[in-house]
Amino acid sequence: MVYIGPTLFGFILGFILGTRIKSDKESKIKFPISTYLVVLLVALFMAWQLGPFPYYTDSIIASGFLATIIGIIAGKVILGR
């Protein structure tokens, strides 16, 4: 994750999408924090299997993918409704 281009813009796009996740108190569908941890682990495995883009030489994971999922969780925690 040395190049700041894909990491920064992946985080910004994930943050925009994460602020729209709302948690409703009295509905029957509840998603606690543990689901987001499981999704994070699965996303880490997926990023390792996808590999970087063809001309990038910095890391062995897809850095845009990981930055997006971190941005979604950060958006939900910080500005979630």
Partner 1 sequence: MSTILKIFVFPAALLIMCLGVLIILGGHITPGGGFQGGAMIAGAFIFCAVVYGLKENPFKFSHDFLASMESIGALGFLILGLSGLFFSGFFLYNLGVDLNQIIPTFIQNFFNYSDPTNAGIIPYLNIVVGIKVLVGLSAVVIAFLEVK
Given the rule CB under 8 A, which residues bind partner 1?
A: 3-6, 9-10, 13-14, 16-17, 20-24, 27-29, 31, 35, 38-39, 42-43, 46, 50, 53-57, 62, 64-65, 68-69, 72, 81
With 0-12 / 13-18 / 19 or more C-beta atoms within 10 angstroms meaning exposed / middle / buried, residue 10 is buried
Nearer to partner 1, 28 or 33 (CB): 28
With 0-12 / 13-18 / 19 or more C-beta atoms within 10 angstroms meaning exposed / middle / buried, residue 31 is exposed
Nearer to partner 1, 54 or 60 (CB): 54
